[in-house]
Amino acid sequence: MNILYKSNQKADIIKFRTTLISVLALAFALLTGCAKNIEPISRTGFYFDTVIQITLYDTEDETILDGCFALAEKYENLFSATKEGSDVWNINHGHGDTVTVSEETASLLVMAADYANATEGAVDPTILPVSELWNFGSENEAQLPEDAAIKEALSHVSYDVIRFGPAPAEETGKSVYRTVTLTDPEAAVDLGFIAKGYIADKMKEYLLSQGVGSALISLGGNVLAVGEKPDGSPFRIGIQEPFAETGKSLDTVEIRDTSVVTSGIYERCFYDENGVLYHHVLDTATGYPVDNELASVTIICPSSVKADALSTSCLCLGLEEGRRFLDGQADVAYLLIAKDGTQYASENFP
């Protein structure tokens, strides 16, 4: 060090410090330039009878949002029970005839039937004849149907009437199933308890294919996180307090790259003149809203379609049977909230 500074030690020290500061400043500029602060971009729309919102945190490319909403429209045109010409609409208006559908529609309907079988019919994709009587989610006001009408509609509720067939001859090899037949011409299917989870998963696949590593997909009560926030922190998701003002959280959970789905009896509901609550989650045995201890079920699971199906399944099964059902599932955490406010959480619930 003495040799380095012996010609003019003070001047050389000043020069060295100035050079070091310049180098550090340049390095900082390069680093901040490579990791510029990107403002999140977000878009909201109305599909599947609910408000959806997609937020991207690590890109400013609006065309990626275009792609997400193109997927939303695609799946509404396949899975909607009310949109004329959709796969599900065609099945329900086939009058017992065999209907050719997309590979994805057949696959999702198979999955829905599997959950119906696993819950011994507590959830059933053929519930539509009954749910149509109640008018939940329609443009008209929900209403209390006549008991005789409910009993008649219930006679057409059974997932056993769904038959799957192979692809048409000209498409052999493309898919295991491509046709659907309802052996009861008066039966009708509704994929509402599982479709939004499937769509969220497909949106995540699309975002990853576009290089997006940080995003939040919200389809009503279904939230799916893609990765984490750009700063490495988790997403914080609020859990709605049952029967409280919309947006009032009972608690929040921190998630990374997983899904949070909540099903509850406090939305899409009405009270009659006697103060009796009627909600949209229907009992496949009675045709009336399920009546057990539970007010809401929150599921955390990497698969949003699984979380979607499990949340409704548990709500229909009730507290004890629902907990046993969920405890038998892999990669699942849950929070069950009873009508009296008591909380039941799995050991792995964050």
Could you tell me which of 346, 247, 341, 228 has the C-alpha nearest to residue 294?
341
Could you tell me which of 32, 127, 41, 13 has the C-alpha nearest to residue 81?
127
pLDDT (0 to 100) of residue 15: 40
How far apart, in whole angstroms, are the C-alpha atoms of residue 334 and residue 47? 27
Look up the pTM and report it. Answer: 0.87
Map residue 255 onto helix, strand or coil. strand
Backbone angles phi, psi at 241, to 5 degrees: -80, 125
Q: Which amino acid is at 193?
A: F
Map residue 14 onto helix, strand or coil. helix
Q: What is the pLDDT of residues 98-137, one digit of tens each?
A: 999 999 999 999 999 999 999 999 999 999 999 999 998 7
- Considering only the top CATH level, what class is 82-191? mainly alpha
| Lookup: tokens for 77 | 């045109």
Q: What is the pLDDT of residues 215-269, one digit of tens each?
A: 999 998 899 999 999 999 999 999 988 988 776 788 899 999 999 999 999 988 9
Phi/psi region, residue 149 (left: phi>0; alpha: psi -120 to 50; beta: rest), is: alpha
Question: Mean pLDDT for each consecutive 10-residue tract of the chain (350 residues)?
Answer: 34 40 40 61 94 96 98 97 97 96 97 98 98 80 93 98 83 72 98 97 98 96 96 94 81 96 92 91 97 97 98 98 97 97 95
